[in-house]
């Protein structure tokens, strides 16, 4: 039996805050708190809203409905058993001055008493209880008064912890992203390093390095080195301007020799044998063995081993280069496929390019690093490619599944992982009502949230068969209206900031509508 008076109040405090220690999952915590409120007040419906970061809107966090009633809006139907289906409470509410005070409100879920929840004089959310006629029943009021503050405190802490967990998950995801980004390069480096070590051991050589040519025109640079005295490898400048090596062009046989004898002597190098690594006419790199002490004979057996290791390293470098070339060509094909989809209808002509420009503008407004801006742009250029090859009879399925199909077309390429994740999630909604996975909030990768905003803007600015292009001021109003539901509020705010400069229209469209 619940104790009354001061003792009962303390027990409620303990029970409410105890939820935070007994349960760690956010939704489950809120369910337990609502159950507690419902039990104490004797009112079967309880809904909790919390203010968003901007302080302008309340978002429904959890609902507790009378037994046997399924709320169709919240999707929170209890398991098992048939029950009546009634509209649930609204998913979000605009904040008004009236929310500062307790009042009775008529909602799709019935007549409820709206109780403000505050901390340190600031409104943080609303607790809506019902059904009521005009005011709370006496028992409910007596039960509610002493628990309003601990309830607000518990909800506030639960949300803060939830946000922290999401940030932690996001940080862990970023670490995973970095690992994936470095994965292929690391494998190559590990293999080259292993071969280098084997070559040094089997030829009895003191030190060695593998240098590679940057396929995008950069200079020859050491990729892996072993056995050098401290600081020596760093002083080896292998750029053509430095002239340490003389590497004849492929037309002259691609011969490689050590040219700068003075530098070699200054670094204490006694002997150095460098083998050029080339794929036909394309230089790939240099494999070099170095001795500092007694010059050792590179006898026939050692030279055979050296040639074998050089051949294996060349193969690795060539395969890495081939895969990079393949990726570039494959991506071009995917982009062309996406462009060909746009060309089918007048309204979608240039859609992918426009999406890329708009998405890039939003990504820059979010001050994302350059590689993430590039990844978002690439994702935008191919985001609807999953619609390719769809026959009319399967159009609905394709429409739902095209983000995942598109993501699968690019996910195994050595691209920034944001590319495939953004393509796969560009139709998800921030409130969880998008498709195909129904992801919610920060479960949706940021790239996908940016593409979602870009797609909305481009579609509104393009118009459809019935409506002409929507002017910028009305698009701004749409952005505001969809912030927090369809769009991530942070992305929506950045989009709003970038909106005046975003290339939404062709020259003939601007100002129409």
Partner 1 sequence: MNVSTEERGGAKVVRLEGALDVAAALELRDLLATVLEPGAKVLLDLAAVSLIDSSGVGILVTAHRLADARGAAIVLAAPPGPVGRVFELTRTNRLLRIFPTVEEGLAALAA
CB of 226 to partner 1, least distance (A): 18
Which residue, 274 or 368, has its beta carbon nearer to partner 1?
274
Helix (H, G, I), strand (E, B), or coil: what is residue 419?
helix
DSSP per residue, 467-505: S-PPPHHHHHHHHHHHBTTTB-HHHHHHHHHHGGGS--S
Residue ranges in contact with partner 1 by CB under 8 A = 245-246, 248, 252-259, 261-262, 264-265, 269-276, 288, 295-300, 303-304, 306-307, 310
CB of 447 to partner 1, least distance (A): 46
CB of 356 to partner 1, least distance (A): 45
CB of 373 to partner 1, least distance (A): 43
Biggest CA–CA distance in the chain, Å, is: 101
Which residue, 278 or 356, has its beta carbon nearer to partner 1?
278
Smallest CA-to-CA distance from 45 within 72, 69, 66 is with: 66
CB of 235 to partner 1, least distance (A): 15
Smallest CA-to-CA distance from 406 within 391, 421, 396 is with: 421
Which residue, 262 or 473, has its beta carbon nearer to partner 1?
262
CB of 222 to partner 1, least distance (A): 15
CB of 191 to partner 1, least distance (A): 21
Which residue, 312 or 485, has its beta carbon nearer to partner 1?
312
30 touches 158 (CB < 8 A): yes
128 touches 115 (CB < 8 A): yes
In terms of phi and psi (left: phi > 0; alpha: psi -120 to 50; beta: otherwise), the region of 367 is: left
Smallest CA-to-CA distance from 183 within 417, 448, 377, 373 is with: 417
Q: How far apart are the first and last CA of the chain?
A: 66
Distance CA 496, CA 134 (A): 41
Which residue, 262 or 329, has its beta carbon nearer to partner 1?
262
Close Cβ partners of 91 (under 8 Å, ≥ 6 residues apart) = 59, 60, 73, 74, 431, 485
Which residue, 228 or 429, has its beta carbon nearer to partner 1?
228
Which residue, 134 or 252, has its beta carbon nearer to partner 1?
252
């Amino acid at each position: 039996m619940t104790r009354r008076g001061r003792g009962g109040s303390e027990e409620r405090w303990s029970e409410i805050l105890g939820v935070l220690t007994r349960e760690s999952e956010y939704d489950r915590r809120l369910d337990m708190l609502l159950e507690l409120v419902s039990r104490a007040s004797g009112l079967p419906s309880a809904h909790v809203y919390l203010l968003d970061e901007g302080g302008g809107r309340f978002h429904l966090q959890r609902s507790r409905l009378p037994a046997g009633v399924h709320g169709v809006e919240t999707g929170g139907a209890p398991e098992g058993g048939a029950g009546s289906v009634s509209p649930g409470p609204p998913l979000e509410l605009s904040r008004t001055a009236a929310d500062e005070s307790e009042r009775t409100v008529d909602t799709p879920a019935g007549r409820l008493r709206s109780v403000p929840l505050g901390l340190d004089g600031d409104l943080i959310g609303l607790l809506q209880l019902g059904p009521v006629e005009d005011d709370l029943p006496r028992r409910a009021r007596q039960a509610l008064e002493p628990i309003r503050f601990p309830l607000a405190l518990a909800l506030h802490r639960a949300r803060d912890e939830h946000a922290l967990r999401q940030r932690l998950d996001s940080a862990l995801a970023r670490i995973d992203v970095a690992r994936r980004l470095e994965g292929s390069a690391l494998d190559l480096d590990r293999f080259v390093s292993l071969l280098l070590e084997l070559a040094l051991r089997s030829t009895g050589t003191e030190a060695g390095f593998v240098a590679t040519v940057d396929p995008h025109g950069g200079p020859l640079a050491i990729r892996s080195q072993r056995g050098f005295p401290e600081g020596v490898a760093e002083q080896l400048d292998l750029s053509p301007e430095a002239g340490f090596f003389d590497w004849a062009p492929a037309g002259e046989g691609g011969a490689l020799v050590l040219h700068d004898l003075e530098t070699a002597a200054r670094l204490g190098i006694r002997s150095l044998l460098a083998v050029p690594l080339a794929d036909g006419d394309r230089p790939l790199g240099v494999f070099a063995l170095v001795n500092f002490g007694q010059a050792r004979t590179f006898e026939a057996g050692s030279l055979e081993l050296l040639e074998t290791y050089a051949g294996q390293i060349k193969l690795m470098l060539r395969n890495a280069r081939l895969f990079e070339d393949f990726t570039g060509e494959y991506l071009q094909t995917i982009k062309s496929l996406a462009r060909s989809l746009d060309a089918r209808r007048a309204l979608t002509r240039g859609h992918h390019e426009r999406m890329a420009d708009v998405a890039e503008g939003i990504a820059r407004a979010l001050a994302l690093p350059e590689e993430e801006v590039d990844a978002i742009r690439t994702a935008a250029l191919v985001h609807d490619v999953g619609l390719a090859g769809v026959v009319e009879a399967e159009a609905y399925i394709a429409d739902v599944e095209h983000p995942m199909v598109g993501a699968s077309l690019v996910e195994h390429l050595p691209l920034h992982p944001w590319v495939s994740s953004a393509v796969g999630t560009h139709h998800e909604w921030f409130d969880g009502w998008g498709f195909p996975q129904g992801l919610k909030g920060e479960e949706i990768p940021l790239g996908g949230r940016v593409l979602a905003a870009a797609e909305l803007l481009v579609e509104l600015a393009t118009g459809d068969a019935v409506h002409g292009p929507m002017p910028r001021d009305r698009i701004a109003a749409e952005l505001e209206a969809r912030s927090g539901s369809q769009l991530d509020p942070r992305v929506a705010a950045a989009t709003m900031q970038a909106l005046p400069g975003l290339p939404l229209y062709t020259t003939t469209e601007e100002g129409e509508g």
